[in-house]
Amino acid sequence: MGATVKELGGPVDVLVNNAGLALGAPACFHDQSIADITTMVQTNMSGVLFAAHAALNQGGMVVQKRGTIVNVTSVTALEAPPFPGEAVYHMAKAAQEGFSNALRNELCGTNIKVVVVRPGVVATNFHEQRVGFDQQKYSQFMEGYEPLVSDDVADAISWVLEKPERVVIKALDVVPTAQRSLSVFDREWNARNAK
């Protein structure tokens, strides 16, 4: 990872660390394969750590004493997911939160910001994969409300990055209006807001 950052040839001002992978659902943890568990841990935890390490070192953030690391975690980092098969994903996202908080403290004495953005339900293949690409289960999960799209999350990250040097948004939850919590959805939202 560090070699790749060096090849880019310039300082890294912003790292958007967006590692998220959930495999094996809806199988419960004890029924998941060690291979799937290992892949999720390597992607969701090691990937975040190695990318941040590379941005700080080979990317020059530490030398410049400035930059922003945006770790895209999930609202599942703070609440246990209501779905079977998400124990490893939940653990990894909670670990990303802990890492972000500790790293922010370790970078005291610099102007390097460490930010967490926690998306809720986003219409990507992540949720399709989570239900084993079963279109009926996916449709049931998305029924009655409008999920976020990737541009919504990108807009939130841009908003965080636009803040002046003296301001940091340490954490930001970005969820569909209908997503009241991790397990409560207003499934009448679309009908009520139809134009």
Please state, in angstroms and rounded to a whole number, the distance separating the CA atoms of residues 87 and 69: 26
**CA atoms within 13 A of residue 21's CA, in its CB half-sphere:** 16
Say whether 138 is catalytic. Answer: no
Q: Which two tokens stand for residue 140?
A: 């049931």
End-to-end CA distance of the chain: 48
Name residues whose C-beta falls within 8 Å of residue 24's C-beta, 6 or more positions apart in sequence: 31, 32, 33, 36, 37, 40, 85, 88
Q: 44, 54, 71, 89: which is the annotated catalytic residue?
A: 89
Please state, in angstroms and rounded to a whole number, the distance separating the CA atoms of residues 61 and 113: 10
151 by Cβ neighbours in 10 Å (0-12 / 13-18 / 19+) ranks as: exposed
Q: Which two tokens stand for residue 32?
A: 């998941």
Please state, in angstroms and rounded to a whole number, the distance separating the CA atoms of residues 186 and 116: 25
Query: Which is it for the CA torsion 127, 152, 54, 116, positive or negative?
Result: negative
Catalytic residues, which ones?
89
